[in-house]
Amino acid sequence: MDTVKVEIITIGDEILIGQIVDTNSAWMAVELNKQGFELAQITSVHDNAAHITEALDNALARAQVVLFTGGLGPTKDDITKQTLCKYFHTELVYNHEVYENIERLFVTRPNVMNKLTAAQAMVPANCTVIQNKVGTAPIMWFEKDGKVIVSMPGVPYEMKTAMADEVIPRLQQHFKTPGILHKTTIVYGIPESQVAIRLTDWENSLPANIHLAYLPNNGIVKLRLSGTGDDKELLEHDMDERLQGLLPLLGDGIVAHEDLPLEQIAGRHLTANRQTVATAESCTGGMAAKLLTSFSGSSAFFKGGVVAYSNEVKMQLLGVQENDLEAFGAVSQQVVEQMANGVRRLLHTDYAIATSGIAGPTGGTPDKPVGTVWIAACSAEKTISQRFQFGSLREQNVQRAAQAAMVMLLRIFKP
Amino acid sequence: MDTVKVEIITIGDEILIGQIVDTNSAWMAVELNKQGFELAQITSVHDNAAHITEALDNALARAQVVLFTGGLGPTKDDITKQTLCKYFHTELVYNHEVYENIERLFVTRPNVMNKLTAAQAMVPANCTVIQNKVGTAPIMWFEKDGKVIVSMPGVPYEMKTAMADEVIPRLQQHFKTPGILHKTTIVYGIPESQVAIRLTDWENSLPANIHLAYLPNNGIVKLRLSGTGDDKELLEHDMDERLQGLLPLLGDGIVAHEDLPLEQIAGRHLTANRQTVATAESCTGGMAAKLLTSFSGSSAFFKGGVVAYSNEVKMQLLGVQENDLEAFGAVSQQVVEQMANGVRRLLHTDYAIATSGIAGPTGGTPDKPVGTVWIAACSAEKTISQRFQFGSLREQNVQRAAQAAMVMLLRIFKP
């Protein structure tokens, strides 16, 4: 069967004046893609009835599904609901379940339920209402000539909850999409083009129901294997077997076998083993610590870290030797290994990671140009370190160095 | 005169499969908005000639300017140039300046100039070529019936350089847009709706050529005054005078009078006064340090910081008293003030900031629900601290707490 085409229309001024970045659409794109839907276009328009209608007409001419986000607030700017009513030749009617949902939410909120919010209980007569479990604006599902139009709030948490729990499962059911299974392998340190060359034969031997996608990001290449089939167990077994074939082709380049941020994979490993980690950061300036604390449960394995931006702090807190700083410079194997071991001893942890580099845009030398970063990881038994050469942009260098520190942490776990 | 309407069309699969978030459009939206252009729609499409052509037709029916980003790489996927050639009934011709530009760039690159890259020197015959100073893909400027179509690379750094240095100035000239001047005041701690109430009379008294915009983000409200006029000096004087009128209305809520991230305002103040700062972070997990090191020159004022996630680290490194931790808990005024003073003494800095809170989603209590954060700032002479109540989302709480820490740092500077 053909792929079901989906389009997203975001409504509201915030994106068009640059007040917010449209992260919603990227998240939706990933989730739709994973379930085998094809996202054909994203359109961002103002709260303007004529413009919304035109965008919807154009989208329906191309796609089977149109997903609206935004424009459902209680203020008079927000006209999505009225516009959809007009489009579907219907009128707003009172929906008691929506009203009860709003009442339920307001019990835990310090605001007073007011007239405007109660007006959210008015919904177009001919839509299927999907309750919004985490917000006041209901989700509205319309059908027209076999096509589906869904209107959701633009608040990311509300949109994500609605998409994951209701909209995607209902779309799968509506379009009878085949069962789909994904397996992800994360590769680091081999450029995408090199990975592709090494996997040519392996990829060519995949059966028609299993497809490989390359998802490169910040130095990482995610290999996502997607398979379709009615017998899920058989499919899973087949995919696992094929993934085994990657090991001899990519070797140490394989960092993990699941689709999670590296810091979460590291965190889970540490938690399971009741072990701890500390960070010593120079050029990443706190970013590695931030990654390790970016999810719930991080206090179980992360005790803390030192951002040692000045050499004084490197020496005083981390015990880096002054003569090594002088002889080799702060961006060196000697210093970064001392930083890692220093913070591990200081904070009494099982592991530690350290970064020292030249984030840029200034500070580069012919020997150590901007983007040069030394990263170390250590345990009580051993220390590993590596020199990385990233690019010329400061923010990107910090992101990539913090990412590489997570790779080094996963590597030090290995016996 | 009427506002000139602009639309953006992004080309390429990366956004539509969610591999990258479209930060380009948000940046362009801000810059266009500042210069008085109205962004009417953003459209993201695949590398598909028919779809690109349809999007361009639709955009030209609504707007005077269409800005393309992406789809200009040297690989066969990228078909923007061919598609525009066909659209404008022209053909690709060799452009020697573009070739020389590519040669110039390759001198500093470790790659070899290959056939594909040389093909980038082929451009549509009827466009005005704008040299790309920082990349190989040329920028192409087309005109049709008084309307302007520009095609730019999607690489953020290349797009930003082209927009700021060439495209926006040329659009201003082409459409003879009036001179525009902006003044920004940053307000913190007063909700947007409250600010609006307090400013009602002030705003109503603004002359027709001066306009106020509210730009709320992460607890901060930016007030942007935009004025148009031929006499720039007179306009600036008039706007400055009006801004003086905000002081009695907003008082301590005013944090800064310029449109820069708070960490950069703080950094500049410290650098100018040859002073230093350190950070002690619990719930923000390194985010405050990351903000202070996110721009060039930060080593002049930022010596380092401690991420004190566990109580053990708070006591051992920062000198937090065990009995205070027991009596008041880690999320308390006593502890956060001791953290700030502790790190200031430890790293010998003039100032320090500290954060301790419950980022969530777990760990809340009735007294201190998720989102409760204590923040302190100190110098040798004084310590200030405040309890903040943010929301229920972990990442947002960390961002808002780090932001609030910057506000506290700016406050401790004041005599």
Asked if A305's CB is within 8 angstroms of B286's CB, the reply is: yes
- At A6-48, the pLDDT tens digits run 999 999 888 999 988 999 999 999 999 999 899 999 999 999 9
- Among the partner-chain residues B22, B157, B309, the one whose CB lies closest to the CB of A304 is B309
What are the Cα distances from residue B123, in Å, to A172, A389, B93? 45, 34, 5
Nearest to A309 among B33, B58, B293 (CB): B293
DSSP code per residue over A344-385 = HHHHT-SEEEEEEE--SSS---SSS-TTEEEEEEE-SS-EEE
- The length of chain A is 415
Residue B331 has pLDDT above 80, yes or no: yes
Class of domain B262-413: alpha beta
Mean predicted confidence (pLDDT) in B317-340: 98
Q: What are the boundaries of each domain within chain A?
A: 5-174, 180-256, 262-413
pLDDT tens digits, residue range B370-392? 999 999 999 999 999 999 999 98
User: CB–CB of B290 and A287 under 8 A?
Assistant: yes
H/E stretch holding A303 reads strand A302-308
Amino acid residing at B87: Y
Would you identify the CATH topology of the domain A180-256? Answer: Alpha-Beta Plaits (3.30.70)
Q: What is the pLDDT of residue B112?
A: 55
Q: Do A285 and B287 touch (CB under 8 A)?
A: no
B279:A21 CB<8 A: no
Does residue B274 register a pLDDT over 60? yes
Residue A52, min C-alpha distance to chain B (Å):
10
Distance of alpha carbon B32 from alpha carbon B66, whole angstroms: 12
Given this model, what pLDDT does residue A377 score?
98
Q: Which residue of B has its CA nearest to A292?
A: B285
- Residue A299 DSSP class: G
Partner-chain contact A17 B27, CB within 8 Å: no
Burial B98-137 (b: 16+ CB within 10 A, else e): bbebbeebeeeeeeeeeeebbebbbbbebbebbebebbbb
Residues of chain A positioned with their CB less than 8 A from the CB of B55: 41
The bridge status of strand A65-69 relative to strand A254-256 is unpaired
CB environment A199-230: b (16+ within 10 A), e (fewer): beeebeebeeebeeebbbeebbbbbbbbbebe
Residue from A16, A275, A296 whose CB has the most chain B CBs within 10 Å, to mutate: A16
The ipTM estimated for the assembled molecules is 0.89
To the nearest whole Å, the CA of B5 is away from the closest chain A CA by: 12
User: Searching chain A, which residue's CA lies closest to the CA of residue B46?
Assistant: A40
Give the pLDDT of residue B111.
54
Ranking A28-37, B79-88, B103-112, B187-196 by mean pLDDT, the lowest is: B103-112
Task: Give the model confidence (pLDDT) of B66-77 as tens digits.
Answer: 999 998 877 666
Tell me if B40 and A51 make a contact (CB, 8 A cut-off): yes
Question: A-chain residues within 8 Å CB-CB of B19?
Answer: 215-217
Burial class (CB in 10 A: 0-12, 13-18, 19+), A381: exposed
Number of CB pairs < 8 Å for A and B?
223
Query: Per mean pLDDT, which range of A97-101, B18-22, B118-122 is the poorest?
Result: B118-122
pLDDT tens readout for residues B225-236: 999 988 999 999
Q: Which fold has domain B5-174?
A: Molybdenum Cofactor Biosythetic Enzyme; Chain A (3.40.980)
What's the predicted TM-score (pTM) here? 0.90
pLDDT of A115: 66
Q: Where are the alpha helices (DSSP H) in A72-127?
A: 80-87, 96-107, 115-118
Q: Which residues on adjacent β-strands are paired with residue B385?
A: B376
Inter-chain touch B306–A304, beta carbons under 8 Å = yes
Averaged confidence pLDDT in chain B? 93
Question: Cβ–Cβ of B41/A45 closer than 8 Å?
Answer: yes
- Which segments of chain A have a pLDDT < 70? 1, 75-77, 107-116
> Which pLDDT score is estimated for B9?
98
Which member of A286, A296, A299 has the closest CB to residue B293?
A286
Average pLDDT over residues B95-107: 84
Do A294 and B285 count as a contact with CB atoms less than 8 A apart? yes
CB nearest A16 (choices: B29, B295, B310) = B29
Residue in A closest to B52 by C-alpha: A41
Order the strands of the B210-217 sheet from edge to edge: B210-217, B220-228, B180-188, B254-256
**What is the spatial distance between Cα A81 and Cα A127, in angstroms, rounded to a whole number?**
11
Q: pLDDT (tens digit, 9 = 90+) per residue, A53-105?
A: 999 999 999 999 999 999 887 766 678 999 999 999 999 999 999 988 888 87
Q: Is the pLDDT of residue B293 over 90?
A: yes
**CB A157 to CB B393 under 8 A?**
yes
Q: Which residues of B touch A284 (CB under 8 A)?
A: 290
Q: Reduce the secondary structure of chain B to three states and give it as a string.
A: CCCCEEEEEEECHHHHCCCCCCHHHHHHHHHHHHCCCEEEEEEEECCCHHHHHHHHHHHHHHCCEEEEECCCCCCCCCCHHHHHHHHCCCCEEECHHHHHHHHHHHHCCCCCCCHHHHHHHEEECCCEEECCCCCCCCEEEEEECCEEEEEECCCHHHHHHHHHHHHHHHHHHHCCCCCEEEEEEEEECCCHHHHHHHCHHHHHCCCCCEEEEEEEECCEEEEEEEEECCCHHHHHHHHHHHHHCCHHHHHHHEEECCCCCHHHHHHHHHHHCCCCEEEEECCCCCHHHHHHCCCCCHHHCEEEEEEECCHHHHHHHHCCCHHHHHHHCCCCHHHHHHHHHHHHHHHCCCEEEEEEECCCCCCCCCCCCCCEEEEEEECCCCEEEEEEECCCCHHHHHHHHHHHHHHHHHHHHCC
Collect all residues of chain B within an 8 Å Cβ-Cβ radius of residue A216.
19
The residue among A309, A344, A406 with the most chain B CBs within 10 A of its CB, best to mutate, is A309
- Å from A176 to nearest chain B CA? 22
B217–A19 C-beta distance less than 8 A: yes
Q: Which residues contact B55 (CB under 8 A, 6 or more apart)?
A: A41, B9, B43, B45
The strand pair at B122-124 and B128-130 is best described as unpaired
Instruction: Judge: A279–B46 Cβ closer than 8 Å, yes or no.
Output: no
